[in-house]
Amino acid sequence: MALRVAATSEQLACAYFRQGCFDAWNGHRVLKNEDESSFGEALAIAQFSQAVEKALKAYVLLEVEQGTYVQSTHRVWSVDLQSDALNRKARIWTTHFRDGELRKLRTRMQNQLGGPKSTAIIEKLEALTPERDWSRPNSEYPWIDGGTVVCPAEYFHEQLDHFIVLEYAKIADTTIGNIADSSDLLRKEQEDVSKIARNLE
C-alpha cells in the first residue's frame, strides 16, 4: 500500500542515510566488545544489513524523480530493484519508471558501489535479513530446521566464521562511503554522525 508523506525525496534520503550511518556505527560497537564468551554476531550482522539497506534506499530516493513513497523490502539490491518486483509488486519508491530506466539505475548503482564483487557481498548480506519464512536463517528471528527451533544468536555464534562478519562490516562501511561520495547532502550526514560517534567514544 502506498504511503504518502509530507517530505521531499531529499529529506527522506538524508534521514535514511543518517540512520544507516548510526546502524553501521552500532554494528562496529558490538564487534568491538565481542569475544568468545559473547553472542553478538547476529546483532552485528543485523546492524550492518540495516546500514546497507538504508544507504541504498537513500541513493535510490535521490536518483528517482519525486513520486509516491511505496513500502519496500529489506533487500533493496536483490529484490526491490529487480524488474519483476517493480512491475508486479510495485515495491520501488516511485511509479514513474519507464522501460529500461530500472536497468540503468542498477548499472549506476553497481558502478557507485564498486562493481559486481561488492554487490555480490551485498546480496549475501541481504539474504540474512528477516522475512516471513520460518525455514530460512536470518539475523533477527528464530526459524525451524529439521523440527528444531533455532535461535539466531546461538546459530551465528557457533556456525559463522568471524572473518565473514568482518566482511559484512567492511561492505557496510564501503557502501556508506561510496554512496556518500555521490551526494554532498549524504556526505554531510555521514560527517555529522562521525562527529557524534567520536564524542561518544
Measured between alpha carbons, how far is 196 from 131 in angstroms, rounded to an integer? 32
Q: Residue 6: inside a domain, yes or no? A: yes
What pLDDT shows up at residue 48? 97
Q: How far apart are CA 172 and CA 19, in angstroms?
A: 13
Collapsed DSSP state (helix, strand, coil) of residue 20: helix
Q: How many whole angstroms separate alpha carbon 131 and alpha carbon 84?
A: 18
Q: Which domain holds residue 80?
A: 2-130+162-200
DSSP 138: -
What tens digit of pLDDT does each residue of 17-31 get?
999 999 999 999 999
153 occurs within a structural domain = no
Predicted confidence band of residue 8 (pLDDT cuts 50, 70, 90): confident
The three grid cell numbers given for residue 6, joined into one nine-digit string: 509530507
Q: pLDDT band for position 35 (50/70/90)?
A: confident
> Tens of pLDDT along 64-118?
755 555 557 788 898 878 765 444 444 554 455 565 677 788 899 999 999 999 9
- How many domains is the chain built from? 1
Alpha carbon distance 179, 193 (integer Å): 15
Classify residue 150: in a domain, yes or no: no
Q: Is residue 145 part of a domain?
A: no
Whether 136 maps to a domain, the answer reads no
Residue 13 pLDDT more than 80? yes
Distances from the Cα of 130 to the Cα of 110, 135, 201, angstroms: 24, 11, 30
Residue 78 lies in a domain: yes
pLDDT digits (tens, 9 = 90+) for 134-167: 889 999 999 999 999 999 999 999 988 889 999 9
CA trace torsion 22, 68, 105, 87 (10° rounding): 120
pLDDT band at 191 (very low <50, low <70, confident <90, very high): very high
Q: Is 65 helix (H, G, I), strand (E, B) or coil?
A: coil
Q: Does a structural domain hold residue 72?
A: yes
Rounded Cα distance between 182 and 171, Å, is 17
Q: Looking at residues 163-180, what average pLDDT do you find?
A: 96
